[in-house]
Every structure is written in structure tokens, then in C-alpha cells.
Chains A and B, each alone.
Chain A
């Protein structure tokens, strides 16, 4: 491993290509932390946005007009504002507001009270709601593709509305929505870079710090590029596998 690090140091000395985050321990540690933060951020956001999508799509078809209107309002607000604005709003307005109102639990971080929900938490919340709003619409399109007669058949067999939704409508709707969902989740992973504006130490933020300190902008840009291509490729690989596994011959395409 040491030899591997030293090879990059030699590369810098000989060619000027400065991949400082490989051979210098401090930079390496913060680079690894950054990769891990981006991966964690992506996974949390993916999961929460799916939950928001599924629950939201169900709420859209709810009997109560209030629930339906709240859902429509949520989608309008989150689809019609830039994710950058949402993150800043959540962190600086909502986060600070909760702190000020004393609604945010804090813990003692060594003589200093730190709010339970920091920059990372707010990034997860705002990005999940952002992608969630799109997921709701994606699932709705899937649900609407399930023939009414299928739901009626399920109800005739004694399913309640909720049970029919979970066991009949959702599995079928999922298959229809997967390609669109795939797109939205890829976008979500790329949008996690916006968390750098509220100082979440993810890849974009750390790359920025590293190139500010070492003036190696082209190298870090290349690394960022490769990292996101790789990360998205992993997601797409699993989504395709999933799509394949859920395929029903003769249903859809």
C-alpha cells in the first residue's frame, strides 16, 4: 500500500499530476470520509424518497380531500423550486427556526450544545422530499396504469383498499414505474452534490477544499467525474437487475 501511495507522490514530482489525496495522509483521510459521506447521503436519500413516493402516491388517491390537497400542495412546492433553494431554506430557515423555538433537541458536544439534526440531517430531509415529490408522480403514473378491473377483482376477493394497494396495485405499478424511477434516482444521486452549500463534507465539498489547498483543480475534477460515473453505474446496475427480476412475461415491455 505504501508503495502505491509513493508511486503517486513520484508521479506528482515527475509529471506535475497532483493526486494529493492518495499520498498525503491528511488529504486521504478527508477524501475517504467524503466518499463515505456521499454514499451514506445517497443511500438515505434513495430510501426516504422511495418511502415518500409510495406513501404520497397512496395519499393522492385517498378518500379525504384534505389529504389529497396537502399532497398536491407538497408536490407543487417541491417540484417548482430549485433543490439548491430548498436545501438552503431547510438549513437556514427551518433549521434555525426550530433551534430558536427550542423544538430541536440538542446534545452536549463538550461544552457546546449541538442540535441533533445537523447539516447532514437537513440535507437528507430536503433532498428526500425533493426527489420524493417526483417519485409520487412516477408512482401515480404506474398506479394509473393498473386497470380498474384488477382493483375491482381484488376488492371482490375481500381485499380492503389498503391491502389491495399493497398486494395488488403496488407490485404491478412498480414494474411500470421502474424506468422513470431509475431516472429520478440517478438524478437524486447527482443532486447530493448540492449539499456542499450547507457544508456537508461530501465529495463536491471536499474536492473543493482539496483543490483550494493544493491548486490541483483539473485532477480533482477528473476524480469527481470518475467517482460519480462509478456511483451512478452501481445504482443503475442494481436497478436493472431489479427490473429484470420483477419482469412478468407478457406484462408491459
Chain B
């Protein structure tokens, strides 16, 4: 009797396993449709991509993109604030269904989360400098102290390419304090982060005067196992449409972000030649 029960239990477990593997790869997507709500992880401290407005609501360019996704699916939207250190874990643990959180698309990250192509944005290296310094070109940094954050890969590039004296601090807070104290003529960092600082209103006497270098594409992410299934394919379509419809360029303008060449380039590249329809 006990033996029979045991066999039955094993069979049940295997059968359940089979059922769940039949759905594997589309679980998250099915869950979203069933619950009628998509949970999107965005930044809440990264103006103007994702930040809280006066009423505490998360708004920004990436929040608008999340809304587009919800509208296309015909479901409600819930935004969850994420940070760079936990955004991939949130997606893996199922706390969020989709992540649009200023993430650079890198090969080590592709092993952990599903990053659908094409990329939706890029950011690169630029500097924040006091307007009174009057920077115009990267070459003006030669021989001058430039603040940075320890561990950033562009410190070495700026030091080697332009012979700048990179003074790297442990955290951005110290680096920016040193810039404010006049211990360096500029702070070298990611242009999107600098734009966020400029948008915050704390840096009105500062500017981002140089041409961004070493662009690195950004990727949004779905769970890794759903990249080549409905969810991943759907998001690829969303990104494609955002590019060709000019939606991203419009959003960039709406949120007062300096226009990126990448978006214009991608729009031209992805646009279908519809001459045969005429």
C-alpha cells in the first residue's frame, strides 16, 4: 500500500514537472496576461530617466517606455524602483517582469538576464565642468587634473588619450565635492549620469561641453529563459517600433535630454524602404 502511494506521489511530481516544463519559457508572460498587470523595474533616482515627481510618483523617460509596453499589452502598469546593484536579481527572482533601468548591455549581463535586441539607447564618456573653465575640446584636458571615480574604465582612456591627470576618488560624492572645491577642472563620468546631475538643478553653473566618446549601448531586460520566447520577441518588436516611429527621439525631447546621435542613426538604419508600396 505504502509502496503504491509512493509510486503515485512520484508519478504526480513527474507529471507536474512535465506540465510546468510545457509552460517554461513563457511563464512570466502568461503570468502578466493572467494578472492583467505588468510590473516594470525602473530607476527612481536617475533624473530624467526615472525619478520621483513632487507627488512621489515615478516618472521619466523609462517610465514612459514602461507605460507604452503596458498599453501595447492592454494591461495595467506597476512601476517598481530598482538600483543598479539589485536590478538583475529583482528580475531573476520574479519581483519584476521587465527591467528598463539605464543598464549597459554587456556580455556578462547577457548570461544573467535576457537582453532583447536592438538596443534602445547609448551612453558614453563625457565631463561635467564649471562654465567658467570654458572647455571646448577633450584636448584641453591635457596636463590638467580631472576628477573621476576609482574603478571606472574610462579613467585610463582619458589619461592615456589626452594625457589628463586623473584624480580618482572612492565615490562619486567625493569626486564631485573635489570638483566643487576646484581641485580639478572637470569630472569625467557617464554622460547620462552627468545629464541627470545637470537636470537636478544643483549644477547650474556647470555644463557638459564635450562630444561624448566611447558610446556603450543600453539594454532593457526580460527573464533569461524568456528571451527567445513570447516576452523577449515582443520586447524586440517594442524597441524596433520605438526606434522607427521616432518615439524615443520624442521622449528624449520631452524630458529635456541632449539629443543622442544614436537614436537618429538607429531610426535611419531600421526604417523599412516602403517604395514598393507606391
List residues of chain A with CB under 8 Å of any chain B CB.
26, 88, 92, 95-96, 99, 109-110, 112-115, 118-119, 196-199, 205, 208-209, 212-213
Among B22-30, B58-66, B73-81, B142-150, which stretch is in contact with chain A? Answer: B142-150
Closest residue of chain A to B151, judged by CB?
A212
Cross-chain contact of B174 among A95, A115, A197, A208 (Cβ < 8 A): A197
Closest residue of chain B to A210, judged by CB?
B156
Which residues does chain A contribute within 8 Å of B181, judged by CB atoms? 92, 95-96, 99
CB distance from A203 to the nearest CB of B (A): 14
Cross-chain contact of B177 among A92, A114, A115, A205 (Cβ < 8 A): A92
Question: For window 130-176 of chain B, which residues contact chain A by CB distance below 8 Å?
Answer: 143-145, 150-153, 155-156, 160, 167-170, 174
Q: Does B39 contact A (CB under 8 A)?
A: no
Which residues does chain A contribute within 8 Å of B155, judged by CB atoms? 209, 212-213
| Complex alpha-carbon distance, A114 and B184, angstroms | 9
Which residues does chain B contribute within 8 Å of A205, judged by CB atoms? 150, 168
| Complex alpha-carbon distance, A99 and B181, angstroms | 8
- In contact, B144 and A110 (Cβ under 8 angstroms): yes
Closest residue of chain A to B156, judged by CB?
A213
Contact status of A112 and B185, CB under 8 A, knowing A209-B155, A212-B150, A212-B153? yes
- In contact, A199 and B168 (Cβ under 8 angstroms): yes
- In contact, B182 and A209 (Cβ under 8 angstroms): no
Which residues does chain B contribute within 8 Å of A198, judged by CB atoms? 169
| Complex alpha-carbon distance, A115 and B168, angstroms | 18
CB distance from B270 to the nearest CB of A (A): 34
| Complex alpha-carbon distance, A127 and B243, angstroms | 56
| Complex alpha-carbon distance, A110 and B145, angstroms | 11
| Complex alpha-carbon distance, A110 and B185, angstroms | 12
Which residues does chain B contribute within 8 Å of A112, judged by CB atoms? 144-145, 185
The 10 closest A-B pairs by CB, nearest first: A212-B151, A199-B167, A96-B181, A213-B156, A199-B169, A197-B170, A199-B168, A208-B150, A112-B185, A112-B144
26 contacts between A and B (CB under 8 A): A26-B156, A88-B174, A92-B177, A95-B181, A96-B181, A99-B182, A109-B144, A110-B143, A110-B144, A112-B144, A115-B183, A196-B150, A196-B170, A197-B169, A197-B170, A198-B169, A199-B169, A205-B150, A208-B150, A209-B150, A209-B155, A209-B156, A212-B150, A212-B151, A212-B152, A212-B153
Contact status of A114 and B145, CB under 8 A, knowing A92-B174, A119-B167? yes
Q: A112-B145, A119-B167 are in contact. List 12 more A-B contacts (CB 8 A).
A: A26-B160, A92-B177, A92-B181, A99-B182, A113-B182, A115-B183, A197-B170, A197-B174, A199-B168, A199-B178, A205-B168, A209-B168
Which residues does chain B contribute within 8 Å of A118, judged by CB atoms? 183
| Complex alpha-carbon distance, A95 and B182, angstroms | 11
| Complex alpha-carbon distance, A82 and B35, angstroms | 54
CB distance from B181 to the nearest CB of A (A): 4
CB distance from B84 to the nearest CB of A (A): 17
Closest residue of chain A to B180, judged by CB?
A96
| Complex alpha-carbon distance, A198 and B156, angstroms | 18
| Complex alpha-carbon distance, A72 and B261, angstroms | 63
Which residues does chain A contribute within 8 Å of B160, judged by CB atoms? 26
CB distance from B142 to the nearest CB of A (A): 9
Instruction: Indicate the member of A95, A96, A113, A199 with the most B CB atoms within 10 Å.
Output: A199
| Complex alpha-carbon distance, A115 and B143, angstroms | 15
| Complex alpha-carbon distance, A167 and B144, angstroms | 50
Which residues does chain B contribute within 8 Å of A119, judged by CB atoms? 167, 183
CB distance from A220 to the nearest CB of B (A): 13
| Complex alpha-carbon distance, A196 and B144, angstroms | 19
Which residues does chain B contribute within 8 Å of A213, judged by CB atoms? 153, 155-156
Question: For window 96-141 of chain B, which residues contact chain A by CB distance below 8 Å?
Answer: none
Which residues does chain B contribute within 8 Å of A209, judged by CB atoms? 150-151, 155-156, 168
Which residues does chain B contribute within 8 Å of A99, judged by CB atoms? 181-182
Question: For window 176-197 of chain B, which residues contact chain A by CB distance below 8 Å?
Answer: 177-178, 181-183, 185
| Complex alpha-carbon distance, A6 and B120, angstroms | 43
Closest residue of chain B to A214, judged by CB?
B156
Which residues does chain B contribute within 8 Å of A110, judged by CB atoms? 143-144
Closest residue of chain B to A106, judged by CB?
B182
Which residues does chain B contribute within 8 Å of A113, judged by CB atoms? 182
CB distance from B215 to the nearest CB of A (A): 19
CB distance from A217 to the nearest CB of B (A): 11
Cross-chain contact of B151 among A95, A197, A208 (Cβ < 8 A): A208
| Complex alpha-carbon distance, A250 and B156, angstroms | 59
| Complex alpha-carbon distance, A213 and B150, angstroms | 10
| Complex alpha-carbon distance, A205 and B182, angstroms | 21
| Complex alpha-carbon distance, A92 and B174, angstroms | 9
| Complex alpha-carbon distance, A212 and B169, angstroms | 13
| Complex alpha-carbon distance, A197 and B170, angstroms | 6
